[in-house]
Amino acid sequence: MLNIKSMAILLKITAKLDIKPVIDKLKNLDIFAEAKSPDEAMKQLTKEKAAIVGAEMFAAILPQLDSVSDFLAEFVAAYKGVSVEEAEKLDAIEVIKELIGDSGVLNFFSSALRKKVEQRH
């Protein structure tokens, strides 16, 4: 669950990431082709589409994870409600699957992405 503490750490992480690869990836997805506006696209966001968007966003961000590596264990610890030491021992793939499937995380990234895109224009 995305709680206040994990959200604060996620803000630090997103501030360090270059979103251009994410924007380029999302522009090429055809899952929202029928939507006439961003709001309409969000209304059409099914669980399946959310998983695709989450996976594509993660794939675009993956090469940049070294720039935020100092925050990852801290974020996972806050997200899972465990110590940093315990978070470091968790199965990364399972955590990633959980994050991709979490609507709170997806909504956070959607909002953050929308704000960064607006700042660029």
Q: What is the pLDDT of residues 16-36, one digit of tens each?
A: 888 788 777 777 777 666 767
Average model confidence (pLDDT) across the chain:
82
**Residue 116 pLDDT greater than 60, yes or no:** no
In the predicted model, is pLDDT for residue 109 greater than 80? no
94 burial via Cβ count (<10 Å: 0-12, 13-18, 19+): exposed
On whether the CB atoms of residues 113 and 22 are closer than 8 A, the answer is: yes
Residue 39 reports pLDDT greater than 80: no
Q: What is the per-residue pLDDT for 1?
A: 79
Q: DSSP labels for 10-67? A: HHHHHHHS--HHHHHHHHT--TTTT-SSHHHHHHT--HHHHHHHHHHHHHHHGGGGGG
Residue 55 makes CB contacts below 8 A (sequence gap 6+) with 100
Q: What is the tens place of the pLDDT at every residue in 59-100?
A: 888 889 899 999 999 999 999 999 999 999 999 999 988 988
Q: Considering only CA atoms, which of 70, 83, 75 is closest in space to residue 10?
A: 75
- The C-alpha atoms of residue 29 and residue 47 are separated, in whole angstroms, by 16
Q: What is the pLDDT of residue 85?
A: 97
So what's the pLDDT on residue 9? 93
How far is the CA of 75 from the CAs of 12, 80, 82, in angstroms?
10, 9, 10
